Amino acid sequence: MATGSPVWKKKSPSINPKKVFPKSEFYVEDVSEGETKWVVMQIKEKLYSGKSEFQKIVVFDTYDYGRMMVIDDSIQTAESDEYIYHEVMVHPPLLMHPNPKRVLIIGGGDGGSLEETLKHKYLDSVIQSELDKAVIEASRKYLSTISKGAFDDPRAVVNTSEGRKFLTESKEKFDVILLDLTDPTDHSKLLYTKEFYELAVTKLTPGGIISLHLSAWAPFPKVTGAIYKTLKSVFPYVHVFSNLVPSYGMELAFCYASKDLDVTKFSPELFSKRLDERLGDSKKDLKWLDGDFLQTTACFVPKQLREAFNCVDRISTDDNPLSFDDYYIWDVDADQ
């Protein structure tokens, strides 16, 4: 591990739900420090299970959340509430930018961020760089209700390449960069470092914004805190807030950051006006976000989340990149 042993040791619960619930009928995920909180979902049908060059990918159909993709024993998206995550990830940064024309999505292989981005009628192009083509293939086949044909939109350019490599080699600049990533682990941790954010700055146009999530801040505050500290070392303007995504079983911290646009004090009136102008008829398809978003969901930062910003004194670097298991260890079951 980059920083030595974890700061806590796993408890030994008398009952482990993964040993109790039949794997063929239930999906069980540890979502806490030390195996004390679990997400348990009854499976209607297992649709796909495979291991790509990079990770394990499973798609279930569940009774409560519809079809769901799980990567390396971590829920990534679910039909029932994916719109919450994707609408929050995509629309605010595109509405804050004065005139977005080109967008880059790094990650997001389920297609949800791409589908939301393409609702903006004045965009010229959207490039998506997803490391694992197996995620895209599984999403196209089993989660088409999330991508809704976005992969075939003529404005979309989808390639399977490592996001940092793509950004380094790209000669283009982007108005908005959406980092739709897994938590910082083996394949994504170099997309959370100071050097990567400095690279992103060089690829943004004036007024450019990046958007990302900072993990589940309540159970994993040290991950959120380290990402926040790293962002603040590069971006003068960083706006973080909390939003519940029910299928994850916890709230995520979301973030918008910019070098030269104050995303912390953006006009709610202008936000609402642009929402009407830029989405047009597509606005009716939004299920979560509306013109009051900045005054409601995005304006409240719980005290505990603010405390998480300073709970660790760490900036993630290429030489010492933040990894989730520097602080927390998932209970991974290779046969789940």
Structure tokens at 171: 């000669």
Whole-angstrom distance, CA of residue 179 vs CA of residue 201: 13
Q: Quickly tell me which residue has 């967008």 as its tokens.
A: 103
Whole-angstrom distance, CA of residue 29 vs CA of residue 216: 14
Q: How far is CA 36 from CA 219, 247, 304, 323, in A?
A: 11, 18, 20, 21
User: 127 forms bridges with which residues in the sheet?
Assistant: 104, 157
Q: Could you tell me whether strands 174-180 and 156-159 are parallel, antiparallel, or unpaired per DSSP bridges?
A: unpaired
Q: Quickly tell me which residue has 């394949």 as its tokens.
A: 187
List the end-to-end C-alpha distance of the chain, in Å, as a whole number: 25
CB 315 within 8 A of CB 233: yes
Whole-angstrom distance, CA of residue 272 vs CA of residue 332: 43
Q: Quickly tell me which residue has 């995550």 as its tokens.
A: 85
CB 114 within 8 A of CB 85: no
Residue type, 211: S
Q: Is 115 exposed, middle or buried (0-12, 13-18, 19+ CB in 10 A)?
A: buried
The catalytic site residues sit at 180
Structure tokens at 123: 């965009």
**Closest C-alpha among 117, 41, 34 to residue 75:** 41
